[in-house]
């Protein structure tokens, strides 16, 4: 669990979701409907809980499609990285890269799959993020004090009292102690939304698919030995290279038992000849706050992005500006966290840079969260399209997730953004198995195999077939929503009595229902 109780709380501005925007999938001019909020700052635990309720970020703008109204429903999809098995097409991509690095083979085979998140519309529908950017000053966002009221938990009882005592205490900026709901997920526990709708099998009814398969002790010892060899060569630390040539596994040890299919690692970490014509390395650099290595490579990375947008997406030269690149793919509300029980690189926002022979050819924008690696975007040099870098980077990110899991056991999923069944060219994400889709009504995970027949019948579907099931994380007490007003933190029940002008209860109720009770009590909702 990454979220620390002593850090600064998340601060958001909610914008609602009244306006429609152009859809990048069906090209409907106003059919893309979503709720949105601007995140001035956000803890990785809060963002983890939000994406487990269907939210997704573009820069500092966080949005949630209005699933039963938007023209192309977008379902959150995650891959179970620990159980991932390479498909035939995945193996072709991995072998193609290996042949290119080791032999210089440039056979241009067109991949059947789309690059992971190569469509800008999958991350930010049109330009609503720019229209909705916050205008609040940093001073207004710095809490000075916190108001507590007795009995906020029972708002109905509060109304019966004639006088309410208000206790005001000073709070040091940056040192807010955030009370956690007793029902919230604790360390090592998944959030409510990490549940799946299928129950584990009963004893004697087959293997428990939620657990890794049994393995021989000999294989486990061999794997541990190989992990030690790789310990100082994996690129999980800031700027450390992950080389495809020098960090190779010993060929005799990298062989997979004949009765087991090859893993991604078997294809990536293989011995290469000393005279290999190319060298590929992967560097993970923190993008927010920007590290020294991120700053040093910013211009080169931007040039790859600009060329990618112009060639692949046909953008005019004046559209992919440095400002757009920064706001879209570099700015992030996520606070960097480095807990002792987390991955060595820490949690937060990163750029995973692919260096070929000393130059950047692709960049995967990712968030490392308590339970997952979340793919944000990918851009690459169009000259290397023949390497199917979208698919290759997705497979590398799955392998990266598995590596991080060794240090952070809770981190075991790879989130691929949104799955859009109504748009055939966006169905490629369903090929990364096993994967789950998020039920848009109860926020439980459902195996994609159970979802596809429902989506064939209707583009919008509730995946949870239990008619009595409800959103377990739904808002139960509006008065407990935390508000930041005039640099003072207070529960909504107190703010509502002090507010002048028309009531904003409907907007706050909508916000709380979308983020859920737990996040609404942890995050601060800014009110002017």
Going residue by residue through the chain, which has 528 residues, state the pLDDT in tens, using 9 for 90 and above.
Answer: 544 445 799 999 999 876 788 998 999 999 999 999 999 999 999 999 999 999 999 999 999 999 999 999 999 999 999 999 999 999 999 999 999 999 999 876 555 444 454 433 444 434 444 455 777 777 777 776 677 654 444 444 444 443 443 343 344 444 343 333 434 443 333 444 456 665 444 444 444 545 555 666 766 766 666 666 555 445 445 555 555 444 444 444 445 555 678 899 999 998 899 999 999 999 999 999 999 999 999 999 999 999 999 999 999 999 999 999 999 999 999 999 999 999 999 999 999 999 999 999 999 999 999 999 999 999 999 999 999 999 999 999 999 999 999 999 999 999 999 999 999 989 999 999 999 999 999 999 999 999 999 999 999 999 999 999 999 999 999 999 999 999 999 999 999 999 988 999 999 999 999 999 999 999 999 998
Q: Are 486 and 237 in contact (CB under 8 A)?
A: no
Give yes or no for a cis peptide into 432 (omega within 30° of 0): no
pLDDT value at residue 54: 98
The beta-carbon contacts of 155-161 under 8 Å, at least 24 apart in sequence, are 155/477, 155/478, 155/479, 155/493, 158/479, 158/493
Q: Are 378 and 364 in contact (CB under 8 A)?
A: yes
* Longest Cα separation, the chain: 84
pLDDT value at residue 310: 97
> Which pair of structure tokens corresponds to residue 230?
């790789």
pLDDT value at residue 395: 98
CA pair distance 235, 364, nearest whole angstrom? 14
Provide the whole-model pTM. 0.80
- Tell me the domains of the chain and their CATH numbers: 84-106+262-412 (3.40.630)
pLDDT value at residue 223: 67
pLDDT value at residue 138: 72
Nearest Cα to Cα of residue 486 among 225, 117, 188, 143: 143
What is the phi-psi region of residue 414: left when phi exceeds 0, alpha when psi lies from -120 to 50, beta otherwise?
beta
């Amino acid at each position: 669990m990454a979220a620390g109780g002593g850090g600064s709380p998340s601060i958001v501005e909610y914008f609602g979701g009244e306006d429609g925007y152009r859809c990048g999938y069906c090209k409907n001019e106003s059919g893309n409907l979503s709720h949105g909020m601007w995140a001035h700052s956000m803890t990785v635990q809060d963002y983890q809980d939000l994406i487990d309720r269907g939210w997704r970020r573009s820069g500092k703008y966080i949005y949630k499609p209005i699933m039963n109204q938007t023209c192309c429903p977008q379902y959150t999809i995650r891959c179970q990285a620990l159980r991932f098995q390479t498909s035939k097409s995945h193996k072709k991509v991995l072998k193609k890269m290996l042949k290119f690095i080791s032999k210089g083979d440039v056979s241009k085979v067109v991949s059947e799959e789309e690059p992971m998140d190569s469509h800008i519309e999958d991350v930010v529908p049109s330009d609503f993020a720019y229209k909705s950017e916050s205008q609040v000053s940093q001073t207004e966002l710095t809490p000075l004090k916190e108001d507590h009221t007795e009995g906020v938990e029972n708002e109905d009882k509060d109304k019966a009292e004639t006088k309410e005592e208000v206790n005001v205490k000073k709070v040091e900026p940056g040192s807010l102690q955030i009370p956690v709901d007793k029902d919230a997920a604790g360390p090592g526990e998944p959030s409510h939304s990490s549940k799946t709708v299928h129950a584990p099998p009963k004893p004697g009814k087959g293997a428990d698919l939620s657990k890794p398969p049994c393995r021989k002790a000999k294989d486990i010892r061999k794997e541990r030995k190989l992990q030690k060899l790789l310990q100082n060569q994996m690129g999980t630390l800031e700027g450390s290279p992950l080389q495809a040539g020098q960090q190779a596994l010993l060929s005799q040890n990298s062989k997979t038992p004949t009765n087991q299919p090859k893993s991604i690692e078997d294809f990536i970490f293989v011995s290469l000849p000393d005279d290999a014509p190319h060298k590929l390395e992967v560097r993970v650099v923190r993008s927010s706050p920007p590290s020294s290595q991120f700053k040093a490579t910013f211009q080169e990375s931007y040039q790859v992005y600009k060329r990618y947008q112009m060639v692949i997406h046909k953008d005019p030269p004046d559209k992919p500006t440095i400002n757009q690149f920064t706001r879209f793919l570099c700015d992030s509300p996520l606070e960097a966290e480095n807990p002792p029980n987390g991955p060595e690189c820490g949690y937060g926002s990163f750029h995973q840079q692919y260096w070929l022979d000393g130059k950047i050819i692709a960049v995967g924008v990712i968030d490392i969260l308590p339970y997952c690696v979340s793919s944000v975007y990918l851009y690459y040099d169009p000259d290397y399209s023949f390497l199917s870098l979208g698919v290759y980077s997705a497979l590398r990110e799955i392998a990266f997730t598995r590596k991080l899991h060794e240090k952070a056991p809770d981190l075991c999923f790879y989130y691929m953004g949104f799955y859009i069944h109504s748009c055939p060219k966006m169905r490629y994400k369903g090929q990364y198995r096993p994967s789950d889709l998020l039920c848009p009504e109860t926020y439980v995970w459902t195996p994609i195999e159970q979802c596809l027949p429902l989506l064939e019948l209707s583009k919008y579907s509730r995946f949870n077939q239990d008619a009595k099931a409800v959103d377990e994380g739904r808002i139960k007490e509006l008065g407990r929503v935390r508000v930041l007003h005039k640099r003072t933190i207070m529960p909504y029940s107190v703010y509502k009595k002090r507010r002048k002008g028309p009531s904003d209860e409907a907007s706050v109720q909508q916000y709380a229902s979308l983020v859920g009770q737990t996040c609404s009590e942890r995050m601060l909702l800014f009110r002017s």
